[in-house]
Amino acid sequence: MIKRKFIPLLLLIIITIAGCKNSDDPVSPIPSEVGDDYVFKQNDLLGRGVNIGNALEAPTEGEWGVYIKEEYFALIKYAGFNSVRVPIKWSAHSLKLAPYTIDANFFSRIDWVIDQAAKYDLAIIINIHHFDEMMVTPAAQKERFLKLWEQIAERYKSQSNKVFFEILNEPNSAMTAPIWDQYYKEALTIIRKTNPIRTVLIGLSNWGGVSGLAGLTLPANENNVIVSFHYYNPFEFTHQGAEWVDGANAWLGRRWNGTTAEKNAVINDFNIMISWANAKKVPLNLGEFGSFSKADMDSRIRWTTFIASHAVASKISFHYWEFCSGFGIYDLNTYKFNDGLLKALIPSS
């Protein structure tokens, strides 16, 4: 009982300390123009990050067990992370017909989230996540998709350079590579009308994986985008026992031992991304990677350590999936980080 009463007090102390921003390190405003190296410096700001998942990408925040609190930003900062990625289901909070207005209260909630990231000096990515209708009938949802970005971009045009936009999470199904390649460019054009210097992340088709790279072309005359990819290989390991994946129970017990063959499979996948990015002179972000809690912890730590360390060595910013749910590094019941996973992501933590 004494320990459980003490933990909220400790969190309050962390919040108080972390919330006192260093006046010698202010958040930079958006510059008037950028050079070719600017976007790489922006990617450095993202650095090591974590997704605050299962919250705002649910139909209603809290429905999937996570309601974002200020203390989460304090804990993430205190643990040593540089940034957060916040998945957002805007489609659940906007009109389905023109003019596709986003609910004012929901906008205010996102304002608060962005303010908390700024308070704790964390860079933040906000995206459009789980736009399910878009994946089924892209053409029918295109106007809505573009109008959502028009509103989001207008709302946050004056935010600092530590606020990043990500156009769409994991295009898939009917949102094929050619369609995505066209639609993201149209969304980026809209964003640039109000946010000419905002750093924007572009994900890949085919659920964001490495295989989606083949269908991506970069826009002309654009030097402020980061290409983001997701990595959950081997899927039978990372998603074993996942209730939302058909047949996942058959994979229970799958281990990741860090053998030469297992590591080389990861290296080969990453090299595809790295070679392409080097040729295009564009930075990379690993927007999601993680292993579900039903895998054995030793394997999860080995896999996470290897992925994170290889990303850092390759100058790829990353965002672990995720903070405090089924893949999480923090336990909401015990008020504790999983030390093994946390140190896999931030060895100095």
Q: 263 pairs with which residues across the strands?
A: none
Beta bridge partners of 200: 165, 225
Q: Are 300 and 310 in contact (CB under 8 A)?
A: no
Using CA atoms, how far apart are residues 304 and 53, in angstroms rounded to an integer? 17
As a whole number of angstroms, the distance between CA 123 and CA 250 comes to 39
341 against 33, higher pLDDT: 341
Does 69 have pLDDT greater than 60? yes
Candidate from 4-13, 86-95, 134-143 with smallest mean pLDDT: 4-13
Q: How far apart are CA 347 and CA 332, in angstroms?
A: 22
Closest among 165, 187, 170, 104 to 131, alpha carbons compared? 170
Q: Is 288 an active-site residue? A: yes
Q: Over the stretch 260-269, which tens digit does the pLDDT of each residue have? A: 999 999 999 9
Helix 138-155 / helix 177-194 crossing angle, nearest 10 deg:
20
Quote the CA–CA distance of 287 and 273 in Å, as a whole number.
13
pLDDT value, residue 29:
60
Is-catalytic flag, 262?
no
Chain centroid to Cα 77, Å, comes to 16
Q: So what's the pLDDT on residue 35?
A: 80
Determine the Cα–Cα distance for residues 156 and 34; give it in Å rounded to an integer.
Answer: 19
CA angle 283, 141, 168 (to 5 degrees): 20
pLDDT tier for residue 290 given thresholds of 50, 70 and 90: very high
Which residues are bridge partners to 164 per DSSP? 125
pLDDT value at residue 349: 75
Question: pLDDT category, 43, cuts 50, 70, 90?
Answer: very high
Please give the average per-residue pLDDT across 159-180, as a whole number: 98
Rounded-to-integer distance, Cα 337 and Cα 120, Å: 19
Could you say which of 57, 61, 262, 288 is catalytic? Answer: 288
Mean pLDDT score of the chain: 93
Among 57, 166, 170, 262, the one annotated catalytic = 170
For residue range 82-121, what is the model confidence (pLDDT) as tens digits? 999 999 999 999 999 999 999 999 999 999 999 999 999 9
Share of the chain above pLDDT 70, in %: 91
List domains and CATH numbers for the chain.
35-345 (3.20.20.80)
Instruction: Please give the pLDDT value at position 266.
Output: 98
- The share of the chain scoring above pLDDT 90, in percent, equals 88
Map residue 169 onto helix, strand or coil. Answer: coil
Q: Which residues pair with 229 in a beta bridge?
A: 286
